[in-house]
């Protein structure tokens, strides 16, 4: 059966397990842009380290800026995905 990521309602729900879908994408993404709502929220350093170890850089921003960054990176032809929490 396909992997199902748990519900993410806030930045507190972002962890290695909730980001598992992004590690399964083919072709592999190089950058994951995370929008954490109205403001930038800190994620657990271990979560960021685990993603880096999988070869995925993580950019954490407020959601409005995350959308702009995602669009910019797509226009550059980068392998990017976004996880966005509504503001």
Number of domains composing the chain: 1
In a domain, 6, yes or no: no
In a domain, 55, yes or no: yes
In a domain, 21, yes or no: yes
The 10s digit of each residue's pLDDT in 62-74 is: 999 999 999 999 9
- pTM confidence score: 0.89
Q: Which domain holds residue 75?
A: 11-84
The 10s digit of each residue's pLDDT in 3-57 is: 555 678 889 999 988 999 999 999 999 999 999 999 999 999 999 999 999 999 9
Q: Is the pLDDT of residue 2 over 60?
A: no
In a domain, 72, yes or no: yes
Q: Which residues of 9-45 are buried (b: 16+ CB within 10 A; e: fewer)?
A: eebeebeeeebeebbeeeeebebbbbbbbeebbebee
Q: In this predicted structure, what is the pLDDT of residue 1?
A: 44
22: domain CATH number is 3.40.1230.10
Q: In this predicted structure, what is the pLDDT of residue 3?
A: 52
Q: What's the CA gap between 15 and 51, in Å, rounded?
A: 10
Question: Omega before 14 cis (within 30°)?
Answer: no
């Amino acid at each position: 059966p396909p992997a199902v990521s748990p519900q993410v309602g806030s930045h507190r729900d972002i962890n290695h397990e909730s980001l598992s879908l992004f590690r399964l994408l083919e072709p592999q993404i190089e950058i994951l842009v995370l929008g954490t709502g109205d403001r930038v929220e800190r994620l657990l350093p271990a979560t960021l380290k685990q993603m880096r170890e999988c070869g995925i850089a993580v950019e954490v921003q407020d959601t409005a800026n995350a959308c702009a960054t995602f669009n910019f990176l797509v226009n550059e032809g980068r392998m990017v995905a976004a996880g966005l929490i509504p503001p």
